[in-house]
Structure formats: C-alpha cells, structure tokens
Amino acid sequence: MKRSDKQCLNCGKEFLPKTVTSVYCSHVCSKKAYKQKMKQLKNEAEIKALVDKIPQNRAFISVPEAGMLFGIAKKTLYRLVEKGKIPSVNLGTRLIRIDRRVMEEMFGPASILQQAESPPKKKLYSLEKEDCYSIGEIAQRFQISEGSVYSHIRKYSIPTRQIGKHVYAPKSEIDNLYNGNDFI
C-alpha cells in the first residue's frame, strides 16, 4: 500500500483518495455503504419500536421480548429455558414467560434502548376487590386451570387475598403475567 492509498471501507480495495476525507473507493461503494447504513438504522428503529411496546413495569416477558431487551438470540434463550437455566412459566406453545428480574440478574440491565427512558416505576398493586380477579375468573379469562393459576401465583409470589370463599389476586399482576405478545 502506498502511503497515499486508503482502504475502501466498503469493498476493502486500496484506492487513491480524492480528498483526505474520502473513505470509499468509488461512488458505487459510497452509495452501497449509505444504503447499508440506512438499513441498519431502520432495523434499529424497528427494534426500538418493538422494545417501546413492552411496558417497563411488566414483570413477565416473552422470549422474543427478552431477546430484544437483553440483546440475546432467541435460540439461545429458548435453549436456556429448556435446560432450566432460566426459570420460566410455560403458558402453552410459544407462551413461555420469563421473569424480567431473573434476566437482569443473569445478563445485567436491559438494553440501552429502554434505559434511556425513565426508570421503571415501583410496582404498585391494589388488593381491593374491584382491582382483583378471583382465581376462577383468572382461569376462565386466560383459559388455564385453577391449579395452574395457583402454581404460577406461588412461583411468582403474586400477592393474594381471601374474601369470603374466594381467593383474589391483583388484576395488574395477573395481566402482567398472562398478557404480552410473542412477535412470532
């Protein structure tokens, strides 16, 4: 390489720069690099848009959501979940939910995409009857057995309250657990 030559940032060929700031060998390379950059920005914007849809105070996230938030390949996460390295609740096919706190403990804070925003609010829930579902209601609403509801409640230490014959759990916590989209 002659001292005046530069390596094109796109194709890697050596070239004689027209100006000191030239980094591409040709107009074609410069255009390709620009397109590439735009594509990357678009991908980042798309991921950011998806990440923004995940409420910050939602404790339970899907595997695709966890992948985006923590920058880990979905495949890897599914494998870790399967091996039991990441505890999860399986609400059915493709309805695996992971506790966000567990992810943070394992992989550090979530993506910078979300950190830029205000810190998550302290979890608040009300145990007033009107803010709660009964176990029966939860089972019906989310199409799962009451036994599963109880085991999820125990597993994730969701507060409950007995009123009369029925056990109630806060709507907010239950919605957190069972809602959320898989992006696939």
**Site residues (CB under 5 A) for Zn ion?**
8, 10-11, 25, 29
Q: What is the largest CA-CA distance in the chain?
A: 87
* Least distance in angstroms from the C-beta of 2 to Zn ion: 17
* Least distance in angstroms from the C-beta of 86 to Zn ion: 44
**How many Cβ atoms sit within 10 Å of the Cβ of residue 167?**
19
The residue (of 28 and 45) whose beta carbon lies closer to Zn ion is 28
The residue (of 10 and 134) whose beta carbon lies closer to Zn ion is 10
Angle at 173 between CA 125 and CA 90, to 5 degrees: 165
Distance of CA 70 to the CA centre of its chain: 7
The residue (of 22 and 160) whose beta carbon lies closer to Zn ion is 22
* Least distance in angstroms from the C-beta of 20 to Zn ion: 17
Q: Which of 139, 143, 130 is nearest to 172 (CA)?
A: 130
Torsion angle in degrees (nearest 10) through CA of 181, 125, 127, 171: -10
* Least distance in angstroms from the C-beta of 44 to Zn ion: 24
The residue (of 29 and 59) whose beta carbon lies closer to Zn ion is 29
CA pair distance 63, 111, nearest whole angstrom: 15
The residue (of 5 and 104) whose beta carbon lies closer to Zn ion is 5
Q: Which of 46, 78, 80 is nearest to 63 (CA)?
A: 78
* Least distance in angstroms from the C-beta of 39 to Zn ion: 18
